[in-house]
Chains A and B, each alone.
Chain A
Amino acid sequence: MDALADNALMLKVKSGDVDRLGLLFDRYHRVLYSFFYQFTSSKMVSEDLVQNVFMRILKYKHTFTGDGKFTTWMYHLARNVYADHYRRDSRLGFSDDFTTVENSLHNSYNIEEQTKKDEEIQLLQKALNQLSHDKKEVLILSRYQDLKYKEIAEILCCSEAAVKVKVFRAMQDLKNIYTQLERQEI
């Protein structure tokens, strides 16, 4: 994606040409959807959260300076949207949290048609869902959203070295959980 073009579009939105947000929506609603889906495993909730991100973009458009990348700013808003959603649902006692996600995933796959690779990926998804939120997030941003450590550092407001530590530890945990799950399957 062209960061300059993104920024130029967002600056237009900021100046009042809000229709330009449609182009940014076309570019980023899928990646945002997959970002939220990894945490919620709910299509509806993920769609709502994506919608919320774009509403916040409109609401806080005046805070966009154009100095950094648009995507960095967008992920900041996305993380806040998810944090608010998680806080609200926890308060209301909903079960849409990290530990119950795996159940919904089981239902979403047709077990009969699973190949060996599908099983591995399903196992990996389960392992990923058992990671703490921070560790899961850093892996999703790095691998799923294909962001560089430097970009993740900007989104998480920390140093690149700290991101590397998080990735390293997340991978260690993921490997351990995956190995355990593999043993249980056998």
Chain B
Amino acid sequence: MMDEKYIDLVTGHLEGTLTLQQEAELQDYLEQGHIKATEIQEFKNLYCQLSDIPAPAPSPFMKADFQEMLADYKKENPQRAPKGSFFGSWLAQWSVPQVFGQMVFGVMVLALGVGIGFRLTPAKTYEKELSHLTGEVQTMREVMMLTLLKQSSATERLKAVNLTGDLETADAKVIRALLQTLNNDPNVNVRLATIEALYQHASNPAVRAGLIAAISQQDSPLVQIALADIMLSLQEKKSVGELQKLLRKKDLNQAVEAKVKQTINVLI
């Protein structure tokens, strides 16, 4: 009879869960004769053979019996819809997958909420809110534009100028910033973009005046031609004086000179 103090080692050996250390320990006991090798082998053989004992397969009627039992149960216990979910049972009836059902339910609730919101909220309040929001966005764009205009990178300043294209109206602060850029920005491309931006607000007399004043201050032929084009487009007769001032410059580009002369002739 094997001693019960070896229970852990023997049962672990049977289950196949002994650690390497425990295996070595068991081996020591076997070598020292504390545990008989034949006895533990008999244990192992019998234990393994237990799984060989055959069990007949259940009859094919078992599943049918189960289905019948389940049907009886459902009849006796009518299935309640999952807690608080009228739509759940409705969707289940149409065999809609649960996740899809939840999504549809969510969308329906949202649509209902929006509908109720429109009904309950007076139109004027809604418009007021919308107008307020638009104003907020406009202010944010302005702030961003003014911040970007102060950046040292020409690309950033170019972005700032382009941002003004999204502004429905430009206030005095924005116009001032753009005109300052037109007169002082070292980069020609930024200045050209600024002319484009200001042109969109040409209905503003301050913008027109600013553009006219800038003509004689520019030294880049590209900018000078662009400004002449704008004056022509705007049919701004007040710009003739400034254009003539430009013609008096000694080192004026020939192409510019021709363009300015043509513009003056048209405007006069």
Are B58 and A50 within 8 A (Cβ)?
yes
Q: Which of A26, A29, A124 contacts B50 (CB 8 A)?
A: A124
* Interface residue total, chain B, C-beta cutoff 8 A: 40
Given contacts A25-B66, A128-B50, contact A18 B58 (CB under 8 A): no
Which of A76-84, A92-100, A162-170 has 4 or more CB atoms under 8 Å from chain B? A162-170
Q: Which of B1, B49, B70 contacts A18 (CB 8 A)?
A: B70
Are B63 and A25 within 8 A (Cβ)?
yes
Q: State whether the Cβ of A19 lies closer than 8 Å to any Cβ in chain B.
A: yes
Are A124 and B46 within 8 A (Cβ)?
yes
Chain B residues contacting A175 (CB-CB under 8 Å) are 39, 42-43, 46
Closest Cβ neighbor of B67 among chain A residues = A22
Q: Tell me how far the C-beta of B173 lies from the nearest C-beta in chain A, rounded to whole angstroms.
A: 62
Are B46 and A171 within 8 A (Cβ)?
yes
Are A144 and B51 within 8 A (Cβ)?
yes
- Residues 31-53 of chain A, each 1 if its beta carbon lies under 8 Å from chain B, else 0: 00110011000010011001100
Q: A148 vs B7: C-alpha distance in the bound complex, in angstroms?
A: 16
Are B46 and A15 within 8 A (Cβ)?
no
Q: State whether the Cβ of A155 lies closer than 8 Å to any Cβ in chain B.
A: no
Q: Which of A18, A19, A37, A58 contacts B55 (CB 8 A)?
A: A37
Q: State whether the Cβ of B14 lies closer than 8 Å to any Cβ in chain A.
A: yes
Are B53 and A47 within 8 A (Cβ)?
no
Chain A residues contacting B11 (CB-CB under 8 Å) are 149, 164, 167-168
Q: A54 vs B62: C-alpha distance in the bound complex, in angstroms?
A: 12
Q: State whether the Cβ of B126 lies closer than 8 Å to any Cβ in chain A.
A: no
Majority secondary structure of chain A interface residues (helix, strand, loop or mixed):
helix
Majority secondary structure of chain B interface residues (helix, strand, loop or mixed):
helix
Are B59 and A47 within 8 A (Cβ)?
yes
- Residues 64-93 of chain A, each 1 if its beta carbon lies under 8 Å from chain B, else 0: 000000000000000000000000000000
Q: A122 vs B4: C-alpha distance in the bound complex, in angstroms?
A: 28
Q: A168 vs B61: C-alpha distance in the bound complex, in angstroms?
A: 39
Q: A120 vs B54: C-alpha distance in the bound complex, in angstroms?
A: 12
- Residues 102-115 of chain B, each 1 if its beta carbon lies under 8 Å from chain A, else 0: 00000000000000
Q: State whether the Cβ of B166 lies closer than 8 Å to any Cβ in chain A.
A: no
Closest Cβ neighbor of A143 among chain B residues = B50
Are A55 and B7 within 8 A (Cβ)?
no
Q: A174 vs B17: C-alpha distance in the bound complex, in angstroms?
A: 22
Are A22 and B43 within 8 A (Cβ)?
no
Q: Which of B1, B52, B58 contacts A46 (CB 8 A)?
A: B58
Chain A residues contacting B65 (CB-CB under 8 Å) are 47, 51
Are A172 and B14 within 8 A (Cβ)?
no
Q: A50 vs B52: C-alpha distance in the bound complex, in angstroms?
A: 22
Are B46 and A174 within 8 A (Cβ)?
yes
Q: A103 vs B17: C-alpha distance in the bound complex, in angstroms?
A: 36
Chain B residues contacting A50 (CB-CB under 8 Å) are 58, 62
Chain A residues contacting B53 (CB-CB under 8 Å) are 38, 121, 124-125, 128, 144
Closest Cβ neighbor of A38 among chain B residues = B55
Are A142 and B56 within 8 A (Cβ)?
no
- Residues 80-96 of chain B, each 1 if its beta carbon lies under 8 Å from chain A, else 0: 11100000000000000
Q: State whether the Cβ of B29 lies closer than 8 Å to any Cβ in chain A.
A: no
Chain B residues contacting A178 (CB-CB under 8 Å) are 46
Given contacts A25-B63, A121-B52, contact A54 B69 (CB under 8 A): yes
Q: State whether the Cβ of B209 lies closer than 8 Å to any Cβ in chain A.
A: no
Are B15 and A55 within 8 A (Cβ)?
no
Q: A124 vs B50: C-alpha distance in the bound complex, in angstroms?
A: 7
Q: Tell me how far the C-beta of A48 lies from the nearest C-beta in chain B, rounded to whole angstroms.
A: 9
Are B8 and A43 within 8 A (Cβ)?
no
A-B contact pairs, 11 of them (CB 8 A): A16-B79, A25-B63, A51-B65, A54-B66, A121-B54, A143-B47, A144-B51, A164-B11, A168-B11, A172-B1, A175-B46
Interface residue ranges, A against B (CB under 8 Å): 15-16, 18-19, 21-22, 25-26, 29-30, 33-34, 37-38, 43, 46-47, 50-51, 54-55, 58, 108, 117, 120-121, 124-125, 128, 139, 142-144, 146, 148-149, 161, 164-165, 167-168, 171-172, 174-175, 178
Closest 6 CB pairs of A and B: A34-B55, A143-B50, A164-B11, A33-B58, A168-B7, A37-B55
